[in-house]
Copies of this chain bind each other. A is one copy, B any other.
Amino acid sequence: MIKTTLISLLLVVNTSIAQKKAISNKKATTKHEHPSLVLTKAGVEKIKSQLGTVPLFDKTLANVKAEVDAEILNGIEVPIPKDFSGGYTHERHKRNFLMMQKAGVLYQILSDETYAKYVKDMLLEYAKIYPTLPVHPQTRSYARGKLFWQCLNDSNWLVYTSQAYDCIYNYLTEKERKHLEKDLFRPFAKFISVDNPQFYNRVHNHSTWGNVAVGMIALVMDDDKLLETALHGLKKDNIDPNAKDNDGGFIKKKGQKVGFLANLEEPFSPDGYYTEGPYYQRYAMYPFLVFAEALQNVKPELKIFEYKNGVLLKSINTLLNLTDADGNFFPLNDGQKGMSYYSRELVSAVDIGYYFGGNKTDLLSIAKKQDEVLLDDTGLAVAIGIRNGLETPFIKKSLDLSDGKNGDEGGVAILRVNGSKDELSLVMKYSAQGLSHGHYDKLSFSLYEGGNEVIQDYGMARFVNIQQKGGGNYLKENTTWAKQTIAHNTINQDETSHFGGDFETGSMHHSEKYIFDVSNSNLQIISAKETNAYPGTQIHRTMAFVKDDSFENPYLLDIIKINAEKEHQYDLPYYYLGQLMSANFEYTKSETLKPLGEKNGYQHLWKEAEGKTGASNAKISWFNNERFYTLTSVVSNEDNLIFTRIGANDPNFNLRNDPGFIIRKPQTKDSYFVSLIESHGHYDPVSEIATNAFSNLKKLSIVYSADAYIAISIENENNTKSMFLFSLNDNSKTSKHQIKIEDKAYEWVGVYQLINNY
């Protein structure tokens, strides 16, 4: 197996080298026509011939026309840059590039020179101010832009504006083009690359935008030398290998390859998972795909969509799978909740993926929900597909996404199972650090029912583009709370974060998959080990959805085994969302609230209540979105059961005041956390009828535990019992196991076994 992997790896590398050579050696011999990047001359003719016959395309066109017409009426504004994101000048320049791109397209499709003139006039305004424009007055960024506070946004501007320029290229006189290229485009491209190598010569979503910006304008200007800089980065940069960006991420590792192809090569795993997480994958998708589309149109010989085994097209499918039932991305690492496949980046991704990826009809059902298309060949193809009723459902699957360039740096597993009402989805993270946007949350998870969070991941502490909140940028609570381990549903040792919250250490490690098996729809399982988060301690977490007819819905089993060299305190939080309904143990609510701790995120938790139990199970039920949920955990009378609420030491009300429940095991060496989560019942405030409001689990117990095995008994209120057997150290699918429990022998083959009615 290892051998096969090595061979296929070599094949990948070989292909990749061959492709790179092809890219480097290619010299343009003829000036190409315009437009040719996203719109093409042939495409425009086809679009024109279809106008009025493809409803979704026509509708999008009408919306875009209305929007641009209103902007034209409003007049051109090119203010001197001043504000952070959310502020007037920022939002104005952002709107300008979006409008120019749209106006360029309208000019091509509608042959109405009003739109060309609008783009031209605006470009001339920019060409007027750019030559003397200093760097942006806001000093927060490690790479300040000119139009915006960071080069990143300047690059956004150029990616969109290049397309507008391509569209009106032939409308402009040669003199006008020369003027714009000399005073605007070339210095602009130079500024974000040569003048800012710390921004441009990296493997990071920032650099992807930078590389693509330069690449797009290079394609319009037919400048292969500039294109080379886009594809492979600057030859020289003098970047200090210890330098970091504003988020604490390294600028560049020594000897690291850079440029667009390196940005495609390194952060994407072979499964198309982008190491920063879906929120940033979404953000990077637009430049990746629009540049790939442009390269495919202008330089088809590069076969960019086949690069790294077609990873770009694969990543679209991956990204769509990284969403909940409503299409919202799972907020892994730094992710703002609410971002979804309705974003404009995903409209691009779905359309480009459909057009260049073999017309997969399941993408049409997503496009139909998006209810808009790109105004180009790809969007036309999608709209025609929808008009012709070709769409098939996009079925999200349980899947395991490897992380890391070569797919060997852990991963993210998603388990999905149908409940009586909605699909339950588990997101379990055992990935690498995720660059500067990564959180310290090895083996953490979140749980969804339909589009509702049952056990939430906090996401990031930021209100993107909302100026009142730190200019719309990352808030300090992102570092002090959201990135910390205690903010996640995973193990905290001695009230410290994984890797001591140290980015360099975290970046060196990843968790290891133990088993992922979804071949049996009645028991889907993911299990992974983490040995580096706390040196000397191994954490092994196993999570499984089990369909058991004696429960209303499939339940989630959560088994953590900790092997430690020394004694430690362990905390396991569950950030349930909703109103607590009941607990099966005594607890005392605090008369005054104090923070749970002083640092590592603990300072942000109010300790609301604390309890203990003499029983072997602690059980809490809560209510949310008309449904009941219950967490049952195996506990001892030593364990502290703590209710928390987020919001302490939050001087500016930056945090959401959400509840949490922490199981705390005091000083112990090896330890188990075994829990079961049920979704059950329903309450409708209109009928006021509550059904199945109580847990169906009578008793959860560890009936066997040793180095090599663990066995869990699950007893239902109806007195049916099942037993889950698990091999902790041998993950072979063919090994035979045997253990004795109360003098009875149990045998099984493979890592796990569920015995019903034992």
Q: Which residues of A contact B (CB under 8 A)?
A: 86, 91, 94, 336-340, 342-344, 463-469, 472, 579-582, 589, 591-595, 606, 608, 621, 623, 643, 645, 647, 649-651, 653, 656-657, 659, 683, 685-691, 693-694
Contact = CB atoms under 8 A, between A and B. Distances in A.
Given A592-B594, A657-B657, A693 B580 contact: no
Given A339-B686, A344-B687, A580-B653, 8 more contacts: A91-B690, A337-B685, A338-B685, A466-B690, A467-B693, A472-B690, A589-B651, A591-B595
Nearest to A626: B338
A549 B595 CA distance: 47
B338 A653 contact: no
Given A589-B651, A593-B592, A465 B580 contact: no
Contacts of A691: 91
B593 A466 contact: no
A371 to B, nearest CB: 12
B690 A465 contact: yes
Nearest to A603: B591
B687 A343 contact: yes
Task: Give how many copies assemble into the complex.
Answer: 2
5 contacts: A338-B686, A464-B685, A468-B621, A592-B592, A592-B593
Given A650-B589, A657-B657, A686-B339, A693 B581 contact: no
Given A344-B687, A653-B579, A686-B339, A466 B623 contact: yes
Contacts of A592: 592-594
Contact of A468 (B472, B686, B693): B693
A152 to B, nearest CB: 14
A657 B687 CA distance: 25
A580 B469 CA distance: 10
A467 B691 CA distance: 10
B690 A467 contact: yes
Contacts of A580: 653
A328 to B, nearest CB: 9
A91 B687 CA distance: 12
Contacts of A649: 589, 591
Nearest to A657: B657
Contact of A91 (B86, B342, B468, B689): B689
Contacts of A342: 686
Contacts of A659: 657
Question: Max chain B CB contacts within 10 Å: which of A469, A594, A686?
Answer: A686
Question: Max chain B CB contacts within 10 Å: which of A594, A645, A649, A688?
Answer: A688
A661 to B, nearest CB: 11
Nearest to A466: B690
B593 A606 contact: yes
A309 to B, nearest CB: 31
A277 to B, nearest CB: 16
Nearest to A681: B466
Given A589-B651, A592-B593, A650-B589, A465 B606 contact: no
Contacts of A608: 647
